[in-house]
A = this chain, B = another copy of it.
Amino acid sequence: MSHYAEQATMLGKDVKIPQHPDEAILDAVPNPQAGTLFLARFACPEFTSLCPVTGQPDFGHLVIDYAPNQTLVESKSLKLFLGSFRNHGAFHEDCTVGIGKRIVEAVKPLWLRIGGYWYPRGGIPIDVFWQTGPVPEGLWLPDQGVPAYRGR
């Protein structure tokens, strides 16, 4: 276990939430376990964006799984990136897949998947599931385990 603390540029500092996803910067930090195939999962139960048609707030619970290659997602920059959707309009299907693609671009993982579990509108919630391709052989990939929506 080693001395790579200096690479985390935002950890331990206060940074403003970007006003638009395009302004947000997703930081990559060196992966101290590069060369080892493993999975990292982020659970983000506090996601919110706006409905692009009505302007009403939407809420979702996102779970992101990825197999890092040379870099890790810096978690504070991830938080700010997700926060940048707060006043931004986005459809559920597009938004979920789009967030996954942004992370892929930033950390160039061996593999990634994202699950978007959205709050109901009109009684029928949408869940969206995307992965970059077949699961790498030998990767351990537990179920995301988010409970099914039941209404009441």
Question: Contacts A44-B124, A90-B1: A97 and B33 contacting too (C-beta < 8 A)?
Answer: yes
Contact pick for A1, options B14, B40, B88, CB 8 Å: B88
Give the interface residue-count category, chain A.
Answer: 35 or more
Across the interface, which residues of B come within 8 angstroms of A124, CB to CB?
42-44, 46, 75, 78-79, 82
Q: How many whole Å from A14's CB to the nearest CB in chain B?
A: 6
Q: How many whole Å from A89's CB to the nearest CB in chain B?
A: 8
Q: How many whole Å from A122's CB to the nearest CB in chain B?
A: 5
Q: Is the CB of B83 within 8 A of A38?
A: no
This protein's copies in its complex: 10
Across the interface, which residues of B come within 8 angstroms of A103, CB to CB?
none
Q: Is the CB of B144 within 8 A of A138?
A: no
Across the interface, which residues of B come within 8 angstroms of A152, CB to CB?
45, 59-61, 117-119, 125, 146-147, 149-150
Contact pick for A148, options B36, B86, B141, B144, CB 8 Å: B144
A81-95 interface (Cβ within 8 A of B): 82-83, 86-91, 93-95
Spell out A's residues near B (CB within 8 Å). 1-2, 4-5, 8, 11-12, 14, 16-17, 21, 31-33, 36-46, 48, 52-57, 59-61, 63, 68, 72, 75-76, 78-79, 82-83, 86-91, 93-98, 113, 115, 117-131, 133-134, 137-138, 140-152
